[in-house]
């Protein structure tokens, strides 16, 4: 009975793959090839229907003055084989939110972290010795992405476009992305000439409400800011939210994107009122239904 079912299965596979059925002996000889072809067809079908992988880029395959990096999907291991005298470890800036920063085997040791314009700086405290080799663990919330090329944000299935701080491109002397879990913001906006931009792709054009998630320290509000997207400009006045990381979503106007394809959104300070303009965690383009 079992042999009969097995034989019928072979006949069915051969039929599906359009292989000739020339007696049972020939079918048994064709079975390995038929099975392999069937698995390849299933694999190709699954690959075609899968969601596209997020954009990702690896760190340059090189050694650093302080040691080397072992890269995983959402984790970097920084092997400090040559601890500098200033105890500073520098890596390229990532397009990632930071989940955690710890020292292997010493999770309670506090590491000093400073985001710079194009690099991230980690300073090891003096109690950490050069032997055994310190290994810093930097865990991210997304697959590790080095901005060799600007990250192009995709439009969601709902039609909205979310432009998070970790995909921002900054220009100027101070403005930068701050990836720490309690920050996750575009910050250091103390120079009014600094500005930032995001790149995104639109598949479904239309009308969009622009929503800015901004934070501003107590007594620091009042700066004039302008957003420029698709040849249209929207102005708003920064609102005091009590703290730079106390973010408030604010709808500042509506734009129309007429064509599909790549777009750019820029944000500039027109006038800085106090010590800093504001912090921005997210800008949303919320599509209006036709």
Q: Where are the domains of the chain?
A: 2-49, 67-140, 152-287
Q: Say what the pLDDT of residue 46 is.
A: 37
Q: Say what the pLDDT of residue 30 is.
A: 45
Residue 21's Cβ-count burial label (10 Å; 0-12, 13-18, 19+) is: middle
Q: Say what the pLDDT of residue 17 is.
A: 39
What is the model's pTM? 0.79
Is residue 80 within 8 Å of 66, Cβ to Cβ?
yes
- Has domain 152-287 been given CATH number 1.10.10.10? no
Q: Say what the pLDDT of residue 274 is.
A: 96
Q: Say what the pLDDT of residue 149 is.
A: 86
- Has domain 67-140 been given CATH number 2.30.40.10? no
Q: Please list, in sequence order, all residues whose beta carbon lies within 8 angstroms of the beta carbon of residue 127, skipping any fewer than 6 positions away.
A: 109
Q: Say what the pLDDT of residue 57 is.
A: 61
For the chain, residues with pLDDT lower than 70 are: 1-62
Q: Say what the pLDDT of residue 290 is.
A: 83
């Amino acid at each position: 009975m079992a042999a009969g079912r097995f034989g019928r299965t072979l006949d069915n596979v051969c039929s599906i793959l359009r292989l000739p059925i020339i007696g049972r002996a020939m079918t048994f000889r064709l079975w390995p090839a038929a099975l392999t072809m069937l698995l390849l067809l299933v694999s190709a079908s699954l690959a075609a229907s899968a969601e596209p992988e997020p954009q990702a880029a690896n760190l340059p395959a090189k050694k650093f003055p302080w040691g080397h990096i072992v890269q995983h999907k959402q984790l970097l291991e920084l092997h400090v084989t040559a601890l500098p005298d200033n105890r500073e470890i520098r890596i390229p800036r990532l397009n990632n939110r930071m989940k955690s920063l710890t020292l292997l085997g010493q999770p309670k040791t506090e590491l000093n972290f400073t985001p710079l314009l194009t690099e991230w700086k980690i300073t090891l405290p003096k109690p950490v010795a050069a032997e055994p080799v310190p290994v810093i663990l930097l865990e991210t919330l997304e697959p590790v992405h080095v901005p060799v090329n600007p990250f192009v944000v995709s439009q969601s299935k709902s039609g909205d476009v979310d432009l998070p701080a970790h995909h921002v491109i900054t220009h100027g002397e101070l403005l930068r992305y701050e990836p720490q879990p309690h920050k996750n913001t575009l910050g250091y906006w103390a120079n009014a000439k600094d500005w930032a931009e995001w790149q995104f792709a639109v598949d479904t054009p239309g009308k969009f409400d622009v929503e800015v998630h901004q934070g501003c320290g107590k007594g620091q509000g009042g700066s004039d800011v302008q957003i420029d997207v698709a040849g249209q400009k929207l102005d708003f006045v920064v609102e005091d939210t009590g703290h730079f990381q106390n973010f408030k979503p604010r709808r500042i106007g509506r734009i129309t994107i007429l064509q599909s394809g790549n777009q750019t959104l820029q944000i500039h300070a027109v006038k800085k009122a106090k010590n800093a303009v504001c912090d921005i965690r997210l800008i949303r383009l919320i599509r209006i239904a036709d």
